[in-house]
Amino acid sequence: MKRYKVIVLLLCLTLFAGILAGCGSHKKKEKSEEGTSTSKDSGELDDITLEGMVSDALSGMTLKEKIGQMFIVCTDSLDFDAETEVTKKMQQKLEEYKPGGVIFFSYNLKEREQVKSMIADIQKSNDIPLFISVDEEGGSVARIANSKNMQTTKFPAMSEIGKSGDSKKACEVGETIGKEIRELGFNLDFAPVADVNTNAENTEIGNRSFSSDAKTVAGMVSQEVKGLQSQGVSSTLKHFPGQGQCGEDTHKGYVDLNATIDRLREVEFLPFESGIAAGADMVMMSHVAVSQVTGKETPASLTKLMVTDILREELQFNNVIITDAMNMKVITKFYDADQAAVMAVQAGNDMILMPDNFEQAFEGVLEAVKDGTISESKINEAVSRILSVKIRRGILPTDSKLFRHNAGK
C-alpha cells in the first residue's frame, strides 16, 4: 500500500511539473528538440508503473466496455435533440455504450456555464472519464473561439503564425488554447494541423497549414504540441500521411494523394516526425488514398500498410491513432458503418471518430471480435494505449476505483 501512495505522489508531481513547463523551456531545448521526446513535460510515468495501472483498469473491463473506449462520438449520434444539454436519452446511450469520448461542435456551444455543465454531466456517465474533444485549430476552424459567447482568444489562421518564422508563437498558441479550453472542461484538441500546404489549389487544408515548407511546419507543430499538452490537453497531429498536396476534399468524396513513398518521407512525414518526437498523444489518420504506396484506392485510414507498418512501426508512434471523421462521404459512399469500423480496427487504429451510425459500428466491432475476425488481444492493445494517454494527461485520476490498490478505500 505504501508503494502505491508513493506512485500516486510521483504522478501528481510530474503532472504539476508538466503544467509549469509550457513554452518557458522552449529555448533551452532547441538543440535536442528533434531527437528527444518532451512527454515527461506532460506528466509521463515510468513504464512499469503506467503498465501496472493500465493492466489494473483493463482487467476489470468487459469486452463491451473496451470497445466503447474506442469510439469518439458527436452528441447527435446519441440523441439528435441533445445539443446544449445531456438529455435522458443521451444519458442512457452514454451509460449503455460507454464511449471513450465525445466531440463538440458549434451547435453544442451556447455559453460558458452551459458548456461546463454539459461536460460535467457527460463525465458522470462512466467510471472512466471521457475525452471531451473539439476542433480548435485557430483561424476558421475554431469551434469555441468562433462561438460568440465563449469568450476565448481568437487566433488568425496558422499560415499567419507560420509566416512569422517564430516557432515560439506556435507554442504560445497551443498554451493559450489549451489553458482556455481546459477551463471549460475539454481535454483533447484535434490540433495541430501537420499538413504541408504544397498545393495552392487545396481547399480542404489551405491556410489551416503553417506553411508550404515542411521544415517550417515541423518546427511549428512540435511547439504547438508542447504548448497544448503543458496545459493538460492532449494534442492530435493531423492528417496522416499528410494531405496538403491534394486538390480535392475528402468531406465530399474520393481523393488520392498521388505521392510516392520517397516524396512522403522527404516532405509530408517531417511534421509528423517532429510532433511525435515532441510527445503528441494522438495522430489522426486521413481518408486520402495513397495508391502509389499501397497499390490500392482504399483510404489510408483503412489500410494496415499506412496505419501500422508506416505510422506505428516506421515512424515509431506508440500513442493513440484515431481515424478522421467516419461520416465523411469518402467513407460513407463506399462502406457501411460497421464495415468501415472493422476495417479501421484491422488496419491498426485505436479509436474511431464519428461513425456514420455509432450503434451499427459498435455492434460491427463487437461481432467481429466474437467471430474471430478481430482478436480480443488487438482490442486490449488499443484500449491500453487509450488508457495510458488518459492516465498520463490526468484525465483518468490515480484514485480511480479501476486501480486495484484503491479498492476498498
3-state SS assignment for residue 289: strand
Distance (Å, whole) CA 195 – CA 212: 9
CATH class of 69-376: alpha beta
Pairing of strands 136-138, 141-142: antiparallel
Distance (Å, whole) CA 301 – CA 284: 9
Q: Helix 2-21 crosses helix 47-59 at what angle (to 10 degrees)?
A: 110
pLDDT value for 403: 84
The residues spanned by each domain of the chain are 69-376
3-state secondary structure 185-248: CCCEECCCECCCCCCCCCCCCHHHCCCCCHHHHHHHHHHHHHHHHCCCCECEEEEECCCCCCCC
pLDDT value for 43: 52
Half-sphere exposure of 82 (CA within 13 A, CB side): 24
Distance (Å, whole) CA 358 – CA 345: 15
Q: Are 364 and 335 in contact (CB under 8 A)?
A: no
Active site residues: 251, 324
**295-302 CB contacts, 8 Å cutoff, 24+ apart:** 297/254, 297/256, 299/250, 299/330, 299/331, 300/240, 300/241, 300/257, 301/344, 301/347, 301/349, 302/335, 302/340, 302/343, 302/344, 302/347
At 17, list the grid cell.
Answer: 511539473
Choose among 407, 401, 351: nearest CA to 66.
351
At 119, list the grid cell.
Answer: 461536460
pLDDT value for 25: 46
What percentage of the chain's residues is helix, strand, coil (to nearest 5)? 50, 10, 40
Q: What Rg do the C-alpha atoms of the chain give, in angstroms?
A: 20
Angle ∠(36,42,45) on CA atoms, nearest 5: 90
Choose among 205, 234, 223, 232: nearest CA to 141.
205
Torsion of CA 141, 143, 149, 150, to 10 degrees: -100
Q: Are 235 and 183 in contact (CB under 8 A)?
A: no
Could you list the pLDDT tens digit for every one of the 409 residues in the chain?
A: 444 444 444 444 444 444 445 675 443 333 333 332 333 333 557 888 899 999 999 999 999 999 999 999 999 999 999 999 999 999 999 999 999 999 999 999 999 999 999 999 999 999 899 999 999 999 999 999 999 899 999 999 999 999 999 999 999 999 999 999 999 999 999 999 999 999 988 888 999 999 999 999 999 999 999 999 999 999 999 999 999 988 777 787 788 998 999 999 999 999 999 999 999 999 999 999 999 999 999 999 999 999 999 999 999 999 999 999 999 999 999 999 999 999 999 999 999 999 999 999 999 999 999 999 999 999 999 999 999 999 999 999 878 888 875 555 5
Alpha helices in 297-357 (DSSP H): 304, 329-332, 337-347
Q: Are 182 and 232 in contact (CB under 8 A)?
A: yes
Distance (Å, whole) CA 218 – CA 221: 5
Q: Are 204 and 153 in contact (CB under 8 A)?
A: no
At 41, list the grid cell.
Answer: 513535460
